[in-house]
A = this chain, B = another copy of it.
């Protein structure tokens, strides 16, 4: 249970060809961890009821995002065996799910903007966000380990948090490590979007998918918080870069599902003679 990749040495094909994947847009409130855990549990239960086997949750589910400062964040943080993660382990066991979600972690005395993957066997990986946005720098220590790619019963699932997705180098590292699906937990603060345009952060998810021929599942949040609005960009992108579900873009909780043949991500071909990974000029970069 560390931040390093835990992919198996000899990965096989996904054991289930088609997986119903859920991305959950959750209304979170800073400083209300019990309400937030309940909101996440409701989303997980809804996703399981809809037949999903993988559920992706937003960033910092337990705590909310817009802290008054490090002190407030610390008061809301919990260890990786705290009530949020153990609750998700219980739900994963109850419903035979893989759950990926973000939480405010207290680890070794420092705060981390963390993301956990759990399944019916317990915690599979903890990742610490490596690229910190804005005032997160006052609160969190960034992670130093690459995004894990975990060989689950559903296929190989990569992990990433919010601003990480804006660095193509980081996305590529997950793609090259074999991710069939990249699970992105996010709290995307809204910025102005020209009329008729899709928020550019959603396009980041699309290009992360297309450039690596993998699925990208983004769970954003909703419910304005201390003056910050959210993109509400919860979406599930296919390996060709087009949405299979979402983006939501409206301000309310939502659980979107789509059936994903994760084996499609094992084929990196974009045509009879091209391949997004093999065509890289590794002699030049």
Contacts and interface: CB of A to CB of B under 8 A. Distances in A.
Nearest to A197: B242
Interface stretch (A69-77, A259-267, A275-283): A275-283
Interface in A153-167: 163, 166-167
Contacts of A284: 130, 144, 146, 170
Interface stretch (A48-56, A88-96, A200-208): A200-208
Contacts of A135: 273
A241 B204 CA distance: 10
Contacts of A173: 285
B168 A274 contact: no
A204 B210 contact: yes
Contacts of A170: 281, 284-285
A163 B274 CA distance: 10
A153 B171 CA distance: 36
Contact of A203 (B130, B194, B241): B241
B167 A280 contact: yes
Interface residues of A, number: 44
- Give this chain's copy count: 2
Contact of A276 (B166, B240, B276): B166
Nearest to A283: B144
Contacts of A146: 284
Nearest to A280: B167
A135 B204 CA distance: 29
A135 B272 CA distance: 10
A137 interface: yes
Contact of A272 (B134, B240, B273): B134
17 contacts: A131-B279, A133-B274, A134-B274, A135-B273, A163-B274, A167-B281, A168-B168, A168-B172, A168-B207, A169-B280, A169-B285, A200-B240, A200-B241, A200-B242, A203-B206, A203-B210, A204-B207
Given A168-B171, A194-B242, A200-B240, 16 more contacts: A130-B284, A134-B271, A144-B283, A163-B274, A166-B210, A166-B211, A166-B276, A167-B279, A170-B284, A173-B285, A193-B242, A198-B198, A200-B206, A203-B206, A203-B207, A204-B210
